[in-house]
């Protein structure tokens, strides 16, 4: 088993460190922020992620995971040094790698022969080459090697993604270094792809960009469905049965957000433009994503035209960009909320875990500890994050709490048929209207050999 150092105990770094400890390695995480470090050293966690607190607690207790702010403490004893720092978006959409290279410089002050620097952060193509030049300038070319090992973690299921990955990607010009890094994961039943540094760096961006584009594509299809009275969920199911396409990321809704898709798609587009390539599909994916939020906002405004009083109120259910996390970065919910506030519309909101995160971004909202409190007196509802508990609300009781009767289901998550039968005006994304549903049955799936 190896001695591993992880630079940065943010989302990627903390999951990586705890995951490698679970695989049997001895890991020390370097965290420069004193407050965050104190939280980790006291046994706390920094964000909501299923299964992570138990993993950290177990390996702190057995000695395989610890936290420090000292490069001098962590780097010399480590064979493998992962860089997992933030790469925020720059002014033109490019990835800002200043923290990556600050980490590289600090590592090289304490580097020794036989070490491998591994970029886990999502970095632009060519970053590994720039790191190698830094190593060369430090006179350590023969002693320290560079490997790209991109992460493919989904917030809300990051621990299971780390321990049961679809693939492990290792990029390097030094085959023996790539092989050593691959052996860190040898206990996992996953294919290992060994490729060049640049291919590994680009693969991460390509994967996220393709997923974002699939979502935008289905959102554009949802607009067409509404125009022709087709049902986007029927269309998605039919398309998803095609083995060449698959069923994932084909759901229409409010669009994509979070810390990865917006940043990575912009960064890939910036890389393309810097090399003289126009990223037409990436530009369209962003445009459709913005249009989807425009459509939902317009529906809410339309629903409020007949609201009583001069200050109508919208209840927003869900603040995180997706269920299973407290991350509100680039959250579609917060985008819609800020538009509503700018239009003079009051907002009451609830989320099972993301209220404090949202409060730090938007303050002029009435945040409620339970969903029913957010729905009290509302003229309309926006379901913005598909938490399962919202399906299980007592919607008959909700009807008695609200002033209005409009529900805009931005995630196609609720039982529209039930809500309409209760008396709500239910609107979804790309689903058939009640009149169209009366003329055609819901899609059914049966064996072609079944017969009748």
d(CA 303, CA 307): 8
The set of residues, in sequence order, having a beta carbon less than 8 Å from that of 320 and lying 6+ positions away, is: 326, 327, 328, 331, 333, 351, 353, 354, 357, 385
Question: Helices (DSSP H) in 168-196: which residue ranges?
Answer: 175-183
d(CA 215, CA 372): 31
Token pair in block for residue 251: 């759901």
d(CA 101, CA 412): 43
Q: Please list the residues that pair with 144 across neighbouring strands.
A: 115
d(CA 421, CA 398): 14
The set of residues, in sequence order, having a beta carbon less than 8 Å from that of 137 and lying 6+ positions away, is: none
* Contact present, 427 and 299 (Cβ < 8 Å): yes
* Contact present, 159 and 49 (Cβ < 8 Å): yes
Q: Please list the residues that pair with 148 across neighbouring strands.
A: 119, 171
d(CA 15, CA 38): 18
Closest of 22, 37, 19, 27 to residue 2, by C-alpha: 27
Longest dimension (CA), the chain: 77
- Classified as helix, coil or strand, 233 is helix
Q: Is 260 a catalytic residue?
A: yes
d(CA 147, CA 172): 5
Residue 92 burial class via C-beta count within 10 angstroms: exposed 0-12, middle 13-18, buried 19 and up: exposed
Q: How many Cβ atoms sit within 10 Å of the Cβ of residue 105?
A: 12
Catalytic-role residue among 225, 260, 301, 368: 260
Residue 314 half-sphere exposure, CB side, CA atoms within 13 Å? 32
Looking at the annotation, which residues are catalytic?
260
């Amino acid at each position: 088993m190896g001695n591993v150092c992880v630079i940065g105990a943010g989302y990627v770094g903390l999951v990586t460190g705890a995951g490698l400890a679970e695989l049997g390695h001895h890991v020390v995480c370097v965290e420069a922020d004193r407050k965050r470090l104190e939280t980790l050293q006291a046994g706390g966690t920094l964000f909501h992620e299923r299964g992570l607190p138990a993993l950290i607690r177990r390996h702190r207790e057995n000695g395989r995971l610890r936290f420090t702010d000292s490069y001098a403490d962590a780097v010399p004893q480590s064979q493998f040094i992962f860089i997992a720092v933030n790469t925020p978006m720059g002014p033109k959409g490019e990835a800002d790698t200043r923290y990556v290279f600050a980490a590289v410089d600090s590592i090289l002050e304490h580097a020794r022969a036989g070490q491998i620097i591994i970029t886990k952060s999502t970095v632009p193509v060519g970053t590994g080459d720039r790191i190698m030049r830094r190593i060369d300038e430090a006179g350590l070319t023969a002693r320290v090697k560079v490997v790209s090992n991109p992460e493919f973690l989904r917030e809300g299921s990051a621990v299971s993604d780390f321990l049961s990955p679809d693939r492990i990607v290792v990029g390097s010009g030094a085959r023996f270094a790539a092989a050593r890094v691959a052996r860190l994961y040898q206990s996992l039943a996953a294919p290992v792809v060994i490729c060049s540094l640049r291919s590994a760096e680009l693969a991460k961006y390509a994967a996220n960009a393709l997923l974002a584009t699939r979502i935008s594509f289905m959102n554009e299809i949802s607009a067409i469905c509404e125009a022709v009275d087709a049902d986007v969920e029927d269309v998605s199911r039919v398309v998803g049965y095609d083995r060449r396409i698959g069923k994932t990321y084909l759901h229409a809704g409010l669009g994509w957000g979070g810390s990865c898709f917006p940043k990575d798609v912009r960064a890939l587009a910036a890389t393309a433009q810097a090399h003289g390539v126009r990223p037409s599909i990436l530009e369209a994916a962003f445009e459709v994503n913005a249009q989807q939020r425009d459509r939902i906002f317009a529906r809410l405004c339309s629903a409020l035209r007949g609201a009583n009083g001069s200050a109508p109120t919208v209840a927003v259910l869900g603040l995180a960009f997706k269920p299973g996390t407290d991350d509100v970065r680039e959250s579609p919910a917060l985008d819609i909320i800020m538009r509503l506030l700018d239009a003079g519309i009051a907002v009451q909101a609830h989320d099972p875990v993301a209220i404090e995160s949202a409060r730090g971004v938007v303050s002029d909202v009435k945040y409620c500890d339970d969903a029913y409190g957010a729905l009290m007196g509302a003229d309309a509802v926006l379901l913005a994050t598909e938490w399962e508990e919202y399906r299980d609300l007592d919607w008959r009781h909700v009807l008695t709490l609200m002033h209005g009767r409009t529900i805009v289901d931005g995630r196609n998550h609720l039982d529209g048929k039930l809500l309409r039968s209760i008396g709500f005006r239910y609107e979804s994304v790309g689903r058939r209207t009640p009149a169209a549903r009366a003329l055609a049955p819901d899609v059914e799936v049966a064996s072609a050999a079944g017969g009748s």
